[in-house]
Structure 1
């Protein structure tokens, strides 16, 4: 095999972990920050655009010890300081810079952010500086000292800053760099906007010195009458007690810590979370110094041949794909209200399933979707032609996977972890994604593994699913654009499908573009009539696929993409949405809605 071996991966990851002590702490990321005492650092941040990275390197391209991170001030009239955060422009955090300033619309590079804040220390507490997401590389400084960095644009990270904060005024500086690179995840080529900035919220989170850092509370695999899990406590002593209480079930269990972790098993028969009854239970985890409260649902998800079973019952996934892009204003989703706009449209469409593409969406999006009863496909941005033989690229992808699972492992709504989207077949790719799948199962074996494969018109009489990655995943995703990237619209309904695997298949993408309000003949591309005819023909095709267990057409709403420059039609938007970016529903929205409503009547 030309791909990287398991042994090589293990050795490389071990060396990476031991040699990057200043990088963000992946292993002990605080769970459920909504249950914590938080101080928001959101709002206006001072900013400096730095395309040449003069604030980071000297003229010899060496890291500069007097860079912008020092936030230096003139002490005398003769001082030479060529920057000043206090007189600079400002950006809103959370938010992307592309839609806040016209001159940064296409900008990819470094922007420095600075925020002043007051802090009063509390004895016997630790304080973490917590970022929900920064795109893409963040180097973080506190009071002029580098405290670490993080790579990856869609997952949270934190730093223990207890000993670096001072009583009174403090300042944090973040060097944010969203330049695309071939070795990154995603790579240089992507079909969504590369929004730069501190795109999600920033917090100071205070916890007791001995605190609950992480936990896992779910049904025991294969059981509906046993709740199993573990609790991790930082700075604990062996033998310390942990209690897990589920008041509504009248269950409390106490267990002991060993090497900072305590396992438990509760005999209970909870009402199961489902799309039609998204039941959540209050779970209270407590030690002698700390308490965390979460709302957790319990459900099972398995497969039986080509069927997906939720709580043992065959469930067809009536879905839609969603990008984390806000309606009306466009740009990154930054609030719960903006999440709800998208989720309510999906509910109106008749969905019970969401593919959150092509990266981990915000914790708020996942939690709100869970409350509304949506099953979720969550994925990392291993997208198109990643550098599958690059060890650094793999380590990056695995870190993002680990962070995604760490944050969302207690959310009953998440039923699918996706490893990749539309990757070309090769031995290195198979090895790369197989290792990711193995890692995901080691972190969480209660969910299904999937990936969206690229199958486009492979046979004269139909499409055969035989990608070797089909052996690795539990559920096969298929992206297929009949009527748009191949074939004419009328040909789609007659396409036959076959699979080399006795596994469920989700049609993870079908669709085509239309400009809202543009009308014409059904054979005229970009019209609503063309998109509608395409959906009708593809629906006829899918009705004849016996092993199809769900679908998530592309996509709920038009979204920005620099790959889409066609003026007067695309205008930097991918127009495959069923709804325009201004919230106007296209004809195909109602066609898919009718298809889903008809399913409910059967």
Structure 2
């Protein structure tokens, strides 16, 4: 009954729906001709949305004139003209970057803020132009030279707008209205356990392409085939019949194709010998795609991933996933990860821990993070923020979740490091939830059949028995779940007494496990918040987990301490989640070395 109702609602949204979700974005943005719009942007705080709504709460940009909003960017008003803002005399924020960590007035701010950037461009008549945002949290309206070019929802996924006929020769300005207000029907919903960083948190780029260009491509091994490269190349433009050449010089591959009437080429290429990507051998091949007027290069690895019984096979060999969870946050410099250096630091710490695998929680991370994982040899669990309690029966909420999932898969489909697409975390079991999550699993499999699909499932406890029987597990490739023995239930020294009843004949992955410790606080191992307590917890967790039949990996929570408004204890937390194995000043806690010692033996 519910499922039929859900499908009808979803169909209605698709038919009459909103334009605020992402359009398909250009593959490999950094590999294109582009101008960076990063740097200092002027900003205005606007908690009442005075720059967007008139006193009747009607949007200025939907009025007959389209005038009246901050996006008009009036800088030299006439002497009889009343203007209640001035970007040019306002403060600035660094882009990419969140606003919470750059201005103390904005540390806890949730609401609307306006950004403005001036830039110069030499417009070429024979080219096309796109403004691309790596991520803006959460909802944004984008204006170019005073005209609205589009809107977007979703705090962690890329989006773009074509501005070919909207740019001016020479001076231009862009204004972005950003609202990070948490709302019940959004993805994520109101209640999370991470900081709600607002702002333009990832790169802003003006991309320049030929009139017809290479818009998208997928080049990977076929499902469970280690001698066949397959994929597609998609052209966009007026002359989509241009011949396409695909070259992988090291493999002596050079193939020419003629696209179909939609500009699409699908291909299957047998290969005799490959050096397969793995954590021990993160081999990436130079790949070049070209037409008469366009060339795109990439670095792509080739590997297979599958499950057989209770084993995970990487390139047909069993692998144990020695992992850690990571948030998109720098503990040393407040706020979101802003640069490749920030991201490399985090992944280097994971490698020091002995990891071959990371869980990028709980949302789509920056594309650079995935490219670094490719380069450094770290397998990846990639996730969307379907987190805790979502509006399961709201069709537009589902569309939002599905869109974020699809955009992440579309962007990162060529990254060999990603072995698992996750559809969510700790979602309570109900029939509406099962339908919602089950549909997301089906969507993943329709988009990408070469990777595993998972989620952090629910568990039940009765005495010393932990049962995993979440019905969503039937649709997944892994029996993956979070469990916090020794922290939210049980005592660390009692953990070896617990046993697990897992109802699925699948590899078992512990997607979260851990407990908090204030770095530098030392006491006996029964004293909560001490490094010794956390150390004892990990020692006994490992003893407990080693008894699980089919135990094939874990991503303990979490690599480093991170900020959270939920964590308010003024002595031990002070708005930090202290479950990190590394403290907020970069010091490794005692539990770090427990886990490292264990991983060194696996």
More displaced stretch, 177-186 vs 217-226: 217-226
| Aligned residues of 2:479 and 2:506 also touching (Cα < 8 A) | yes
**Residues 1:293 and 2:297 aligned together:** yes
Cα–Cα, structure 1 residues 115 and 200, in superposed 2: closer, same or farther, change >3 Å? same
More displaced stretch, 163-172 vs 236-245: 236-245
| Aligned residues of 2:355 and 2:378 also touching (Cα < 8 A) | yes
Query: Residues of 2 paired with 1:75 and 1:240: CA distance?
Result: 50
Secondary structure at 2:457's aligned position in 1?
strand
| Aligned residues of 2:75 and 2:87 also touching (Cα < 8 A) | no
- Which residue matches 1:435? 439
Query: Residues of 2 paired with 1:131 and 1:3: CA distance?
Result: 35
The one of 581, 584, 588 aligned to 2:587: 584
The one of 63, 67, 70 aligned to 2:69: 67
CA distances 1:303-353 after superposition (whole Å, capped 9, x unpaired): 011111101111000000000111311310000000011111100000000
Q: Which runs of 5+ in 2 are unaligned?
A: 61-66
Q: Which runs of 5+ in 1 are unaligned?
A: none
Cα–Cα, structure 1 residues 224 and 236, in superposed 2: closer, same or farther, change >3 Å? farther
| Aligned residues of 2:426 and 2:457 also touching (Cα < 8 A) | yes
Secondary structure at 1:146's aligned position in 2?
strand
- Which residue matches 1:44? 40
| Aligned residues of 2:535 and 2:591 also touching (Cα < 8 A) | yes
More displaced stretch, 271-280 vs 236-245: 236-245
The one of 550, 572, 575 aligned to 1:569: 572
- Which residue matches 2:539? 536
- Which residue matches 1:168? 170
Cα deviation for residue 161 of structure 1 reads 0.4
- Which residue matches 2:500? 497
Secondary structure at 1:454's aligned position in 2?
coil
Query: Residues of 2 paired with 1:525 and 1:355: CA distance?
Result: 26
| Aligned residues of 2:21 and 2:400 also touching (Cα < 8 A) | no
Query: Residues of 1 paired with 2:450 and 2:264: CA distance?
Result: 20
Query: Residues of 1 paired with 2:345 and 2:240: CA distance?
Result: 47
- Which residue matches 2:360? 356
The one of 25, 28, 34 aligned to 1:32: 28
The one of 475, 478, 486 aligned to 1:475: 478
Report the TM-score, using the length of structure 1 for normalisation.
0.97
Give every structure 1 segment of 4 or more consecutive aligned residues whose post-TM-superposition deviation is greater than 6 Å. Answer: none
Cα deviation for residue 213 of structure 1 reads 0.5
| Aligned residues of 1:74 and 1:81 also touching (Cα < 8 A) | no
Secondary structure at 1:566's aligned position in 2?
coil
- Which residue matches 1:253? 255
**Residues 1:336 and 2:340 aligned together:** yes
The within-5 A match list for 1:16-31 is 16=16, 19-20=17-18, 23=20, 26-27=23-24, 29-31=25-27
- Which residue matches 1:129? 131
- Which residue matches 1:54? 50
Report the TM-score, using the length of structure 2 for normalisation.
0.97
Cα deviation for residue 300 of structure 1 reads 0.4
- Which residue matches 1:89? 91
Cα–Cα, structure 1 residues 10 and 290, in superposed 2: closer, same or farther, change >3 Å? farther
Cα deviation for residue 6 of structure 1 reads 6.9
Secondary structure at 1:425's aligned position in 2?
coil
| Aligned residues of 1:327 and 1:338 also touching (Cα < 8 A) | no
Cα–Cα, structure 1 residues 304 and 39, in superposed 2: closer, same or farther, change >3 Å? same
CA distances 1:490-526 after superposition (whole Å, capped 9, x unpaired): 1211211121111112101010000001011111000
Cα deviation for residue 75 of structure 1 reads 3.5
CA distances 1:56-104 after superposition (whole Å, capped 9, x unpaired): 1011111123110111234322210000001111100000100100010
Aligned length, in residue pairs: 594
The one of 554, 558, 561 aligned to 2:557: 554
Cα deviation for residue 2 of structure 1 reads 2.7
The one of 225, 228, 231 aligned to 1:226: 228
CA distances 1:105-124 after superposition (whole Å, capped 9, x unpaired): 00000000000001111121
CA distances 1:167-195 after superposition (whole Å, capped 9, x unpaired): 01100000000000000101000000000
Query: Residues of 2 paired with 1:189 and 1:24: CA distance?
Result: 22
| Aligned residues of 1:4 and 1:428 also touching (Cα < 8 A) | no
| Aligned residues of 2:34 and 2:206 also touching (Cα < 8 A) | yes
| Aligned residues of 1:24 and 1:158 also touching (Cα < 8 A) | no
Query: Residues of 2 paired with 1:343 and 1:238: CA distance?
Result: 40
Query: Residues of 1 paired with 2:191 and 2:310: CA distance?
Result: 33
Cα–Cα, structure 1 residues 386 and 508, in superposed 2: closer, same or farther, change >3 Å? same
| Aligned residues of 2:75 and 2:88 also touching (Cα < 8 A) | no
| Aligned residues of 2:133 and 2:160 also touching (Cα < 8 A) | yes
Cα deviation for residue 238 of structure 1 reads 5.8
